[in-house]
Every structure is written in C-alpha cells, then in structure tokens.
C-alpha cells in the first residue's frame, strides 16, 4: 500500500460520500458529521488562501535577490513591499480589514485598480464588436443578428422611440436563450457529475499532483 | 423520519447509475469499443503550431486559471490534455511553446506533462521551464494583464486557449486577434463561450473540449467517460421528447416521476 | 489604400478615444430617458414586495471592487426596498472583498437615519466566509455552530435578530448578487436544492443568459440583470442612483458601438466587392 | 473645484493607469499591475487569517480540542513547498476535494439535470395561443438539439439526415451566444461608467 496516495484517496471518498449522504438521507448522525466536515472545510479554505502569497514570495523574492538586468526586479520589490504593508496593517492592529488605515489604503489603491481593470474590458468590447461582429459567414451572421438586436433593446433611446426594440430583446431572452442554454446546462451538468464520481472513486487523481 | 429524503429519490438513483455507467463505459473504452468523433477545431491546432514554425514566432497555450479543487476541474484536465498534445507538436515541429501558469496546484502537473512530451520527442534539452511555463499570478486581472503584456512583446503566431476562462477571455481573444495570431479557443464556462465563438478562428463549444481532451489523450478511461455522459444525454433527449409529447396531450407523467 | 480599407481597420486609439468621449458627454449632461423594466427584475421586485413584514432575508454580497460599479447600485436599491418593507436582513459575503463592499453599500442606504433600522435587530453582517459552496451550506445548516461573531468580532448571540435565526428554515428567502459563476450556481444548489428555499439572483449582464435556465424552471424567482436590472430596481423602488445615470451613458456608448458595427460591416462588404470586381 | 483628498488623487491615478493599457502597454500600467498583485495577495492573507481565527481558533478556545487537527491539516497544505515532504499536502487537499465534489455533484445532478429535463418534459408544445406554441416549440427544439450536438461517441447520429439535428442545435446556440455577447457589451459599459462618474464627480468635481 502506498500511504502517500491511498490515504488521501480514502479521505476524498469518505468525505464525499458523507456529503452525498447528508443530502439524500434523513439520518441524523450523517447530518451531524457533515456539519463538522463543513466547518473544518471552511477553516482549511482559510489556510489555503495563503498559498498564492507564499508562491509570490518565492518568485519575486528570487527575482529581487538576483537583480538580473531586464527583469524589472524593482517592480518585484515594490510588489513585495505592498504585500507586506497590507499584511502588517491587517494583522498588527488586530482589526484586520476593518482598520481605518487599512480601509483607507484599500479604497485608495485596490478599489480603483480592481474596478478599473475589470471594467476596462469595455474598451476591448467596443473594439472587439467593431472588428468581430461582421457577418462574414453563416455562423458569424447568426451571432451578429441577435447581438445587434439585443444591443438595440438594451440602449434606452431605441425602446423610447419604438418599444418593439425592447420586446424583441425580451423575446430573444425567452425561447432562444432559454432553449439553447438549457441544453448546454444539461450537458455541462452531467459532465461535472461524471467527473465528480470519477474523483470520488479514485479514477481522477490530477489533484494529487506528481507521483 | 424517512431514511431517504422525499423528492430526491430519482436524483439519487441517477447519481448511483452514473457510477455504474462510468465503470461499464471505461471497460468498453479499454476494449476499444468506443470511438469519439473528430472535432473540427482539433485539426486547426496542428495548423496553428505549423504556422508558428513557419513564421518563427512562439505559440501560446493557455489553460486558464482553474484549479483541481474548484468545480471547473474537468475543464482544467481537458486543457492539460491539450497542452500535452500541443507540447508534443511543438517539440516535433520546432515551435517555441509558451504556457503561462496561474495556479500553484496545476503548475507542477503542467510542467510534468510538457516535460514528458518533449522527452518523448527527444528534445528535452530545448525546453526551458522557467521561461516557457512562467508563473504570472493567481489573481485574475494581474494574470490577465501579465499574459497580454507577454503577448504584446513576444507577438506569437498562434494561440490555443482551452480550459476554464473567466472575464479575461475577452481580453485574451481581442489582444491575440490584434497582433495577428491564429486562435483556437474553447471553454465549457457558458459565460465565456460567446467571445471565443466571435473572436477565435476555431471555437470548441462547451463540452467539445472534454471530447477533444479525451480524443488527443487516447486514454481509454477518458474516452469511456465521454460515452457515459452520452448515455445520459440520450436519456435526457428521450425523456424530453416523450415527456413533452405526453404533456401536450395533458399527461404529465414524466415530470411527476422525475420529481420523486 | 481605399476609403473602405481604411474604415475596416480603424486604429484602436481612434475607437477607444471616441468611446471615452461618448461616456463623458452624458455624464456631464444627462438626458433622463424613460426606462422599460424587464420581466426578470420585475419578478425580483414583486417577490420582495410579497414577503410578510418581519421576514428574514439572507443576502450574499458576492462581489468585490471589480463588480462594484455594476452590482453596487443594484444592491443599494435592493436594500432600500428591504428596509422600506420592514424586512430583516442577514448579510454575508462569499467574495473575499465583500466585507469592503458592505460599508460602501451601507453608506448609500443609511438604514439608521432613513428607516430607523437598528443593527442587531433589523440587520446583521456576519462577514466573509471562505469556501464558497461550503460556506453557503454552513450558514444554511447550523448557523450558530459555524458563526459566533459578526464582522467586527462582536458575538452574535444576544443580538435579537440572530437569536431568531438558526439556519435555512428561518430565512424567508435567499438573495445574492455576484460576479462569480460558482456563487450564482452555488446558491441554487445549496439554498434551492438542498433546503428548498426561494432564491433571487443578481449577476453581471453577461452571466444572465447562463443562469436563465434556473429562472425558467423556478429555481430562481427573479434575476437582477446587471446594470440594467439595477436601473430597473432603482426605478421600481423609487430610489434613482448611479445605475439610472448609467442608462444615459449606455445610450451614447451603445449607439456608438452600433455605428462601429455598421461601419465595420459596410466597409468590409464594400472592400470585398472592390476586391472581386 | 478639484478634490483635495489625497486618497481620491491616488485612486484617480490608479484608475487612469489601469485604463491606459487599453490604449498601449506602458510602464505606468506595469507599476499599477504589480501594485495590484501585491495588494491582492496581502488582502488574501489577511482574510485567510481572519477566517482561521473566526472559524477555527475560537472553537479551540471554546474547548473543542478536535479543531487542533484542522490546524495540523492546514499547516500540511504548506508542505507542498518542501522538497521531501511535499506529499503531505495531499491530505488536506483530499479533504477539500472530497467536500467540494460531494457538495457540488449531489445538487448538480438534481438542479442541472433532473430539474432541467423535467422542465422540458412538462412543457406542452401547444397552448397559450399561436405565440405561446411557437415559443414552446423553439425552446424545446433548442434544448433537445443542443444536447444532441454534444453527443460524441455515436457517430451515426451525426451523419445523413440526422446530421441536421446537431447543426440546428449549433445554429440556435450561436443565436443565444449572440444575445449573450450583446448583453455583455452593456455589462462592461455599465461598469466603466462607474469609473467615469468617480473621475468627474469625486476627483474633478465637475458634476
């Protein structure tokens, strides 16, 4: 027996089966056990949040100490400084993200960066729509038709001129979207379940990493 | 209190039958009884790699930022199968493969697969893991901007994106389109399929990526899995058709059965 | 290079520059065009209206800074309606940054001064809980076993609202607003399937098509469709905010996009004609 | 009047820096990008530790000694960075995977498969007037043909006359994707307008 792999596989199986049992049966002991598992899972997820940061420390720490030409090592230094400042502010005060300085810095730095990075996709969308939404063949034409009709319905001025634009959009979101997306969802749903079962019974072991 | 929760008997039965179906299908797969149909986007991958060689520019393979522990693990596995395939092609044809990484648990597996592929072709000495499979960031937009930055500097001739993708899909597809890379995109995250469908030269829709992954891996277990899913889909089609026809004449027996 | 050729490949900077101008004009002088409310947001509004006074709602802030511009206004409008109808609110966050979105939302709603609501009696924020679906299942299962303190570290036992809430059965409805597909589907799995609770879902517009099947099958009673849904709710609840302002911006920018699409198609077609002729 | 609040100025700087990439890659954007990564990771750690305190440490303090085991598992996660003992991280990961998989598939088979099939099977194809009938039929055809498109191992189902069924599925899906694309454009502009309002109202105080 290879305890380095077999014990984890057994853990996955047992925990997964208890989760399923909790859903499908009314046995009190199973529900109680699963409540404990859930709470443990939440604590473990807390631990897992630190993994990415450790990796950043490794990658950028190495770059900073090597200081190779053309690697932008000073940016790595800045990154680590920001990382340390936020951890320090959050933990030293004991107020975590509720501290006054912490939320000041968050609102000044992270909030604008996060929301702008996310929303600057608008520019990509605009350019993408211009370059891509062209009825160059049959497939593209299908995509083109509904995209344009939905944009018309979504742009307040057009329904204001003629309400039909809005009803057209609502109709597309009716049978067209409902039907096709239901088919897609059924397919993806069963795909996820099959993978899940394979994972529980130890046939899908990618998460265990290298041998 | 009932041992089985009422209203959930059919789902439980369906879940147990998945288990049985997977076993049967995988055995059938091992006996070579199951064939997966060819998928159009797959042939294009070879074209993409070949084009990169001709133009003397790198080819990107992005597997997305899924992990093995989230609900998109299947898609990550499919992406890794494709990465393995692309790495083999790149080693054989002599293209420079670049596959930026986002997740710490997936990265070692990806490195292992790429290394294997280069090894099979006897070109292990041509592989530079640190340069070709760099870890960029586990944070969505930091990762995304890292990739678009690399794309702008390296100007790849081709880009293959198969795996789970989030909002960054649009940024990638648009950026690579702009620098003139030929693209094959595919994801089963329904939210992002439209962008790939619109911007990529070839698009694998939804579950096609699983079939593609199984197809290139040649692994009977993976191919068997696809068959098991197909049986469920056939059942879904049959139940839908019969049920809809019956309910049209006022008999709602299928839906009632399913809600037990 | 012919005119058509130039028009098929306008430089990126030109397109983006025009988009920025199209955003600035209506932001500086709004038009105030009328609005038509969609069925999905109407259903959200009606579902909340139909709840009896004093019902407890579990509300998940499932977005961070990236989603705030789009989903924040909708959350604010939804909270206005909830406090106006004397409903109780247990708020949680499945998003890492949710705890930092909460003060932004509350600063706009002002439940104390606007509605005389009292923290601990009418609403409680239990903070961020890691683990997405595990967190949902935890809160709906045995809330007090899992959560002992609110987001500021004050014990929740002794708070009048929390003494009456122990798990899924005590919530009249579960509502979420999120940028994450895992959260959007997770609440259907955990709240609807597992505990048979009614669920309302708010997402980015781009996700609406994907969760629409749940709405069709009654697993979601209403959908707040991104910034459009937010504008609808602001209109329905009578609390105009940033989302309605954005309607004007949408008119300008999307008309511009339609013009770009037209230019792109016509020039592409004409260029092809020239090439073949 | 322009804002005098330094935090508004910093936020405005980062807003413009992050936008600038849409036009061209530049060093200011790179600075913003690295700041973003660093702060994100820092925030993640802070929230991670807060969660460990709230949902783990308090339990130990209350006398539930068994939670010590969770801490051991949690620390084992970090074994993956060790050359020799890396395999130890598999134990906590196995726990997380078992929990995650169990919790999602138990409901997915219900919500995504059974309920969706039942919904298709219980909708009459005729009724609700001419429009209702048309809508019901389109929905039904869309769902069934889309599933058909995703059958991969039955080659005979994609040939000859039957071959039109998956094609129809693909066409209907493309129409639906178009709708999604159109809606996304609104989604993104709706987001960026928030930044425009911030710049004009909070920073430049023009409106």
Give the model's confidence band at A55: pLDDT under 50 very low, under 70 low, under 90 confident, else very high. Answer: confident
Contact criterion met (CB < 8 Å) for B191 and C66? no
Distance between CA C243 and CA C231 in Å, rounded? Answer: 5
Residues 10-49 of D with CB under 8 A from A: 10-12, 14-15, 18-19, 21-22, 30-32, 34-49
- By the CB < 8 Å criterion, does B249 face chain A? no
The predicted pLDDT at position B195 comes to 85
Asked if A16 and D101 touch (Cβ cutoff 8 Å), the reply is yes
Give the model's confidence band at A210: pLDDT under 50 very low, under 70 low, under 90 confident, else very high. Answer: low
Beta bridge partners of C155: C149
Residue found by looking up tokens 């101008």 in the block: C21
Domain ranges of chain D: 124-207
Share of chain A above pLDDT 70, in %: 97
Q: Which residue of A has its CA nearest to B8?
A: A24
Asked if C253 and C19 touch (Cβ cutoff 8 Å), the reply is yes
Contact criterion met (CB < 8 Å) for D140 and B244? yes
Q: What is the mean pLDDT of chain C?
A: 92
Q: Which residue of D has its CA nearest to A4?
A: D87
| pLDDT, average across residues D48-57 | 92
Q: Which chain D positions have a beta carbon within 8 Å of B69's beta carbon?
A: 93, 96-97, 100
Share of chain C above pLDDT 90, in %: 69
- In chain A, the N- to C-terminal Cα span, in Å, equals 14
C neighbour chains, 3+ CB pairs within 8 Å: A, B, D
Strand ranges in B18-110 using DSSP code E only, listed in sequence order: 59-62, 97-98
Higher pLDDT, B16 or B130: B16
pLDDT digits (tens, 9 = 90+) for B169-209: 888 988 898 889 999 999 988 878 888 888 888 999 888 88
Contact criterion met (CB < 8 Å) for B108 and A20? no
What's the ipTM?
A: 0.88
Please give the helix or strand (H or E) that residue D185 lies within, else none: helix D164-197
Distance between CA B211 and CA B209 in Å, rounded? Answer: 5
Higher pLDDT, A121 or C21: C21
pLDDT digits (tens, 9 = 90+) for C165-188: 998 999 999 999 999 988 999 999
The predicted pLDDT at position D127 comes to 84
Contact criterion met (CB < 8 Å) for C249 and D184? no
Phi-psi region of A133 (alpha: psi -120 to 50; beta: other; left: phi over 0): beta
Residue C272 CA, distance from chain mean position: 43
Helices within chain C (DSSP H only)? 3-8, 12-28, 39-49, 68-84, 98-109, 111-115, 133-141, 143-146, 160-163, 181-187, 205-216, 226-237, 242-276
Q: Which CATH architecture has domain B40-217?
A: 3-Layer(aba) Sandwich (3.40)
Q: Give the total residue count for chain B.
A: 260
B130 CB-near residues (< 8 Å, 6+ apart): none
Q: Which residue of A has its CA nearest to C232?
A: A156
Closest by CA to C242, choosing from B168, D30, D18, D194, is: D194
- Sign of the Cα pseudo-torsion (D109, C223, C177, C28, in order): positive
The predicted pLDDT at position D80 comes to 81
Question: Which residue out of A186, A190, A202, A209 would a mutagenesis test of the D interface target, given it has the greatest number of D Cβ atoms within 10 Å?
Answer: A186
Q: Is the pLDDT of residue B68 over 70?
A: yes
The predicted pLDDT at position B2 comes to 65
Domain ranges of chain B: 9-33+222-258, 40-217
pLDDT digits (tens, 9 = 90+) for B241-251: 999 999 999 88
Contact criterion met (CB < 8 Å) for C23 and D44? no
Count C/D contacts: CB-CB distance under 8 Å.
143
DSSP B180: T
**Predicted TM-score (pTM) of this structure:** 0.89
Q: Is the pLDDT of residue A59 over 70?
A: yes
Asked if C214 and C201 touch (Cβ cutoff 8 Å), the reply is yes
| pLDDT, average across residues D58-74 | 92
Backbone angles phi, psi at C116, to 5 degrees: 65, 25
Distance between CA B124 and CA A19 in Å, rounded? Answer: 44
| Closest residue to A115, CB basis, from C66, C130, C142 | C66
The predicted pLDDT at position B140 comes to 78
The predicted pLDDT at position B67 comes to 81
Q: Hey, how many other C-beta atoms are within 10 angstroms of the C-beta on B4?
A: 12
In angstroms, what separates the C-alpha of C126 from chain D's closest C-alpha? Answer: 11
Distance between CA C273 and CA C207 in Å, rounded? Answer: 38
The predicted pLDDT at position A37 comes to 92
Q: Of A121-125, B89-93, C189-193, D87-91, which range is least confident?
A: A121-125
Q: Which residue of D has its CA nearest to A90?
A: D46
Contact criterion met (CB < 8 Å) for D98 and A12? yes
- By the CB < 8 Å criterion, does B173 face chain A? yes
Contact criterion met (CB < 8 Å) for A200 and D49? no
Closest by CA to B145, choosing from A121, A112, A130, D195, is: A121
Q: Which chain D positions have a beta carbon within 8 Å of A185's beta carbon?
A: 112, 116
The predicted pLDDT at position C30 comes to 79
| pLDDT, average across residues C86-110 | 95
| Closest residue to C65, CB basis, from A111, A122, A173 | A111
Q: Which residue of C has its CA nearest to A49?
A: C130
Query: How do strand B59-62 and strand B97-98 relate by DSSP bridges?
Result: parallel
Give the model's confidence band at C277: pLDDT under 50 very low, under 70 low, under 90 confident, else very high. Answer: low
The predicted pLDDT at position B191 comes to 79
pLDDT digits (tens, 9 = 90+) for C184-221: 999 999 999 999 999 999 999 989 999 999 999 999 99
Question: Which residue out of D117, D124, D166 would a mutagenesis test of the B interface target, given it has the greatest number of B Cβ atoms within 10 Å?
Answer: D117
The predicted pLDDT at position D100 comes to 87
Q: Is the pLDDT of residue A49 over 90?
A: no
Q: Give the total residue count for chain C.
A: 277
Higher pLDDT, C274 or C79: C79
Contact criterion met (CB < 8 Å) for D33 and B71? no
Question: Which residue out of A36, A38, A112 would a mutagenesis test of the C interface target, given it has the greatest number of C Cβ atoms within 10 Å?
Answer: A38
| Assigned token pair, B199 | 């911007």
| pLDDT, average across residues B229-233 | 94
Q: How far is CA C136 from each of CA A24, B30, C65, C131, C158, rounded to the nearest angstrom?
A: 18, 40, 21, 8, 23
Q: Which residue of A has its CA nearest to D173?
A: A180
B192 CB-near residues (< 8 Å, 6+ apart): B165, B166, B167, B169, B170
Q: What is the mean pLDDT of chain D?
A: 90
Beta bridge partners of B205: B187
Q: What is the mean pLDDT of chain B?
A: 89
| Assigned token pair, D55 | 């949902």
Sheet with B97-98: list strands edge to edge. Answer: B97-98, B59-62, B158-162, B182-187, B202-205
Please give the helix or strand (H or E) that residue C200 lies within, else none: strand C199-203
Distance between CA A119 and CA A112 in Å, rounded? Answer: 10
Beta bridge partners of B186: B162, B204
Question: Which residue out of A13, A35, A46, A74 would a mutagenesis test of the D interface target, given it has the greatest number of D Cβ atoms within 10 Å?
Answer: A46
How many degrees, rounded to 5, is the angle at CA B235 between CA C196 and CA B79?
Answer: 80
C172 CB-near residues (< 8 Å, 6+ apart): C51, C52, C55, C56, C57, C87, C198
The predicted pLDDT at position C276 comes to 67
Give the model's confidence band at A209: pLDDT under 50 very low, under 70 low, under 90 confident, else very high. Answer: low
Q: Which chain B positions have a beta carbon within 8 Å of C133's beta carbon?
A: 71
Asked if B79 and B209 touch (Cβ cutoff 8 Å), the reply is yes
Closest by CA to C208, choosing from D173, A132, A174, D206, is: A174
pLDDT digits (tens, 9 = 90+) for C141-169: 989 989 999 998 899 999 999 998 998 99
Residue C130 CA, distance from chain mean position: 20
Closest by CA to D168, choosing from D144, D195, D151, is: D144
Distance between CA C16 and CA C119 in Å, rounded? Answer: 45
Q: Which residue of B has its CA nearest to A55?
A: B104
Q: Give the total residue count for chain D.
A: 207
Q: Which residue of B has its CA nearest to C195?
A: B5
Distance between CA B132 and CA B145 in Å, rounded? Answer: 17
Asked if D134 and D126 touch (Cβ cutoff 8 Å), the reply is no
In angstroms, what separates the C-alpha of A28 from chain C's closest C-alpha? Answer: 13
Q: Which chain C positions have a beta carbon within 8 Å of A133's beta carbon?
A: 261, 264-265
The predicted pLDDT at position B183 comes to 95
Distance between CA C141 and CA A33 in Å, rounded? Answer: 12
Higher pLDDT, C1 or D160: D160
Distance between CA D106 and CA D96 in Å, rounded? Answer: 15
Distance between CA C36 and CA D9 in Å, rounded? Answer: 37
Contact criterion met (CB < 8 Å) for D184 and B226? no
Q: Of A53-67, B45-59, C97-111, D9-23, which range is least confident?
A: A53-67
């Amino acid at each position: 027996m290879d305890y380095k792999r077999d014990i984890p596989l057994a853990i996955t199986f047992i925990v997964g089966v208890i989760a399923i049992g909790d859903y499908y049966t009314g046995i009190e002991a199973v529900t109680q056990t699963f409540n404990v598992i859930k709470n443990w899972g939440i604590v473990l997820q807390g631990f897992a949040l630190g993994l990415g940061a450790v990796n950043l420390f490794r990658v950028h720490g190495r770059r900073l100490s090597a200081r190779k030409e053309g690697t932008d090592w000073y940016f790595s230094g800045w990154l680590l400084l920001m990382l340390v400042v936020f951890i320090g502010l959050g933990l030293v005060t004991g107020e975590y993200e509720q501290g006054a300085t912490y939320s000041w810095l968050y609102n000044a730095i992270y909030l604008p960066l996060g929301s702008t990075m996310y929303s600057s996709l608008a520019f990509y969308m605009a350019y993408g729509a211009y370059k891509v939404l062209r009825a160059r063949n049959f497939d593209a034409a299908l995509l083109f038709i509904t995209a344009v009709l939905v944009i018309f319905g979504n742009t307040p001025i057009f329904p204001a001129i003629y309400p039909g634009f809005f009803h057209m959009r609502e109709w597309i979101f009716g049978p067209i979207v409902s039907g096709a997306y239901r088919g897609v969802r059924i397919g993806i749903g069963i795909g996820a379940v099959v993978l899940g079962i394979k994972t529980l019974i130890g046939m899908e072991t990618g998460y265990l990493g290298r041998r | 209190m009932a041992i089985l929760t009422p209203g959930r008997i059919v789902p439980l039965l369906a879940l147990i039958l998945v288990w049985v179906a997977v076993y049967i299908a995988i055995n059938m797969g091992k006996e070579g009884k199951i064939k997966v149909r060819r998928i159009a986007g797959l042939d294009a991958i070879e074209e993409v790699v070949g084009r990169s060689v001709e133009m003397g520019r790198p080819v990107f393979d992005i597997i997305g930022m899924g992990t093995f522990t989230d609900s998109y693990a299947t898609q990550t596995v499919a992406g890794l199968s494709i990465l393995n395939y692309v790495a083999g092609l790149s080693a054989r044809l002599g293209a420079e493969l670049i596959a930026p990484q986002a997740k710490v648990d997936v990265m070692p597996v990806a490195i292992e697969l790429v290394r294997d592929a280069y090894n099979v072709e006897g070109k292990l000495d041509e592989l530079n893991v640190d340069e070709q499979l760099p870890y960029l960031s586990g944070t969505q937009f930091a990762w995304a901007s890292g990739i678009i930055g690399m794309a702008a500097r390296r100007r790849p001739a081709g880009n293959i994106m198969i795996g789970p993708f989030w909002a960054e899909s649009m940024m990638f597809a648009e950026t690579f389109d702009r620098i003139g890379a030929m693209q094959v995109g595919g994801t089963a995250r329904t939210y992002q399929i439209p962008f790939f469908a619109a911007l990529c030269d070839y698009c694998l829709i939804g579950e096609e990526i699983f079939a593609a992954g199984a197809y290139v891996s040649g692994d009977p277990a993976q191919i068997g899995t696809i068959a098991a899913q197909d049986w469920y889909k056939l059942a879904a089609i049959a139940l839908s058709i019969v049920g809809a026809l019956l309910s049209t004449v006022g008999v709602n027996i299928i839906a009632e059965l399913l809600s037990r | 290079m012919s005119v058509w050729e130039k028009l098929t490949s306008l430089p990126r900077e030109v397109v983006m520059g025009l988009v920025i101008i199209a955003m600035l004009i209506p932001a500086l002088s709004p038009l105030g065009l009328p609005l038509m409310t969609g069925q999905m947001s109407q259903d959200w509004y009606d579902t909340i209206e139909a709840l009896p006074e004093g019902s407890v709602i579990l509300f998940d802030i499932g977005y961070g800074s990236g989603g705030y511009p789009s989903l924040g206004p909708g959350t604010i409008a939804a909270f206005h309606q909830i406090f106006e109808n004397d409903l109780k609110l247990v708020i949680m966050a499945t998003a890492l940054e949710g705890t930092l979105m909460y003060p932004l939302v509350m600063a706009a709603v002002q439940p104390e001064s606007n509605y005389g609501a009292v923290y601990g009696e009418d609403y409680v924020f239990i903070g961020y809980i890691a683990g997405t679906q595990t967190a949902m299942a935890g809160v709906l299962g045995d809330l007090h076993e899992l959560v002992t303190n609110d987001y500021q570290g004050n014990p929740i036992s002794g708070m009048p609202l929390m003494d009456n809430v122990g798990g899924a059965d005590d919530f009249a409805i579960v509502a979420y607003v999120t940028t994450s597909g895992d959260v959007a589907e997770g609440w259907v799995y955990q709240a609807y399937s597992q505990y048979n609770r009614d669920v309302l879902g708010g997402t980015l517009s781009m996700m609406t098509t994907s969760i629409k099947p749940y709405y069709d099958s009654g697993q979601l009673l209403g959908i707040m469709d991104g910034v459009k849904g937010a504008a609808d709710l602001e209109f329905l609840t009578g609390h105009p905010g940033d989302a309605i302002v954005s309607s004007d911006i949408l008119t300008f920018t999307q008309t511009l996009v339609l013009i770009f699409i037209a230019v792109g198609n016509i020039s592409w077609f004409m260029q092809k004609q020239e090439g073949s002729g | 009047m322009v804002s005098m609040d330094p935090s508004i100025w910093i936020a405005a700087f980062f807003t413009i820096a992050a936008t600038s990439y849409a036009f061209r890659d530049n060093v200011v954007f790179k600075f913003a990008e690295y700041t973003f990564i660093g702060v994100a990771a820092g925030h993640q750690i802070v929230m991670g530790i807060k969660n460990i305190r709230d949902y783990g440490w308090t339990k130990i303090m209350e006398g539930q000694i068994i939670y010590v085991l969770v801490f051991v598992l949690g620390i084992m996660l970090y074994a993956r960075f060790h050359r020799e003992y890396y395999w130890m991280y598999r134990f906590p990961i196995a726990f997380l995977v078992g929990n995650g998989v169990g919790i999602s598939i138990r409901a997915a088979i219900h919500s995504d498969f059974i309920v969706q099939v039942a919904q298709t099977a219980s909708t009459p194809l005729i009724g609700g007037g001419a429009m209702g009938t048309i809508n019901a039929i389109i929905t039904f055809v869309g769902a069934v043909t889309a599933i058909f498109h995703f059958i991969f191992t039955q080659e005979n189902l994609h040939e000859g006359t039957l071959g039109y069924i998956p094609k129809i599925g693909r066409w209907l899906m493309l129409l639906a994707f178009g709708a999604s694309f159109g809606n996304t454009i609104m989604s993104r502009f709706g987001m960026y307008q928030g930044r425009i309002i911030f710049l004009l109202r909070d920073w430049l105080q023009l409106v």
